[in-house]
Structure 1
C-alpha cells in the first residue's frame, strides 16, 4: 500500500468525481489490532488504490489528486485514532467530501476485547492508547473514542473469529457495486458459546428449539445436511418462529430501503452454531430470496460451522 500523498492544505471542496466513482470510495477504520491493514490488503488485491495510515485531513486532497486518474478511481483510505483530533478531522473531511458530491462508504473493522488482547500480546506490542496503563485500558479507551463512528459506519466487520479467507468473502460482498443493489443483507449463523457477532444488527435466538446435538444419530451432521435440516425445520415452533421472523425482516427491509440503509447483518444463533442456526439461516435466506427483485443482495455466512 502506498504512503499518504504530499501536498498543502485543501483548497476548497473536491470537484465531483462523476458517476463512475459512485461506490468506489471507502474509508477503512476501526479498532487497533482488529485487521484494518489486512482488510486494506484484501481490497488492494481487488484492484483498489489503498493508502494506509492517512491523516483524515488529507482525505479530500487524496480525492482531488486522483480524480482524473483512470487507474485510481477506486480509492480506499485507512485511518486510525493515532492522528491528533482524529474524530474532529474525520468529520471535517467527510463534510468537505459531501460538499463535492462524494459519500465514501465507512467500513469499521472490530473484534472482541479478548481477541485484541491476544493479538497484541502475540506480537508483544503496546496498544497505541495504552500509555502507562494496562493493555486493556488502551483498548477500552479507543473503543470509547470510536463509539460514535462505529454507530454511524455503513458496515461493521467483526474479525474476532475470521481467517483471511472469511474476511475476503465479506469484503467481496461489500465491494459489489452493482447499481441495482440498494441494500446488502447478510444472514449469519453463529454459536452463543463463541459470542454474539459484533456486527449484528438483528439477533435471532434458536436455543428454544430441541438441540440435534443430543440426538446421537444427528450429532455429527450439520444444519446443511438433510437429516438435521428436516429435524430442525420439522419442529412446529420453528415454522411459527420463522413466519414471524420473516414478516419482521420484510417490514424492516422496507424501512431500510426507504431510509437509505445499505448494510444490515442478521445473526441467527444456537448453542454451538452447527445445527439449528445453520438450518434456520439457510431457510430464512430461501424465504427472502424474492427481495432481490427489490434491490436487496442476500448473503449467507456460517461463522462457527466447523469449529467443533
Structure 2
C-alpha cells in the first residue's frame, strides 16, 4: 500500500508541530536572560542540554549508542562537525535575540529551506525543477533587496541559515539515529560548555548560584531542557509523518519569531523589510506548491503502477 494513502499519524503531527512552536516562541524565553552575557547563556545551554540528553540515553539504552559511533571514526568525525555547526547556530541566535535582532533571526529560518535546496544542488548533485529555480531566484532577489535596505548583507540571517543547513546536511549523511546523534554531539560540546561556564565564573562574567539569583539560575537550567526537548520531539515526529508535511510545518517557527520581534519586542518592520520578506515568502510559496504537486503526482504514479487487483486496496486506509 502506498504510504501516501495511509492516515496521518496525529501524535507525530502534534509533537512535530509542538517542536516548531517552541522554536518559534523561544525568543521570548532568551529575552528573559538579557542580563546574562550571551556566551554564558550558550555555555549553560550546551551544558544542561547535554546533561539531559546524555542522561536520558544512558537510562534508556546504556552505552550501546556510544559504542556504535566510536566504532565508526568517520561517523564520529561527522558528528563532531555537526556539533560545531549547531553550536555556532545557537550562539549567534542567542546573541541576536538578546541584542534586538529577532526579526533578522526569523529571516534566517525563512531562508533555510531554500539554502537546503542550494546545498543539495552544489554538494549532492541534485537537480532542480524550473519552479524550484524560480523560487531560488526570487529568494535571492529578496535577500539582495534587504541587503540594499540594510546597507550591508543581512549576515545574521545568512549565517543562521547556512549553519543550520550545513548541520542538516551532516545529519542527513550521518547514519545514526537522531537522538543518539544528538547525544554524541552533546558529548563533544560538554567540555567546551563546562569550560565556558567555569571561565565565566573565574573572570566575573558568570554568577551562577551566587550572583544572578535562583530565578536566573533556574532559567539557565531550563534553557538546556528547552534546547533538548524540541529536538527530541522533532526526531520522534519526523519519523512518523511525511516529509512534505514537515516541510510545511517548519514555517511555523520563523513566522512566530517574526511576530515576536515585531509585536512583542517592537522591532521595526517598514516597507523595505516588507518587500524583502515578501519576495522570500513568494519564493517559499512557489517551492511549497511545487513540492505538493510533485508529491501528488508521485502518489498517482504509484497507484497507477499497481496491479489492477491491488489498486482498490489503496482507497481503504487502515483505521487506528
Asked if TM exceeds 0.5, the reply is no
> Which structure's residues are more often strand, by fraction?
1
TM-score between both structures, scaled by the size of structure 1: 0.23
> Which structure's residues are more often helix, by fraction?
2
TM-score between both structures, scaled by the size of structure 2: 0.22
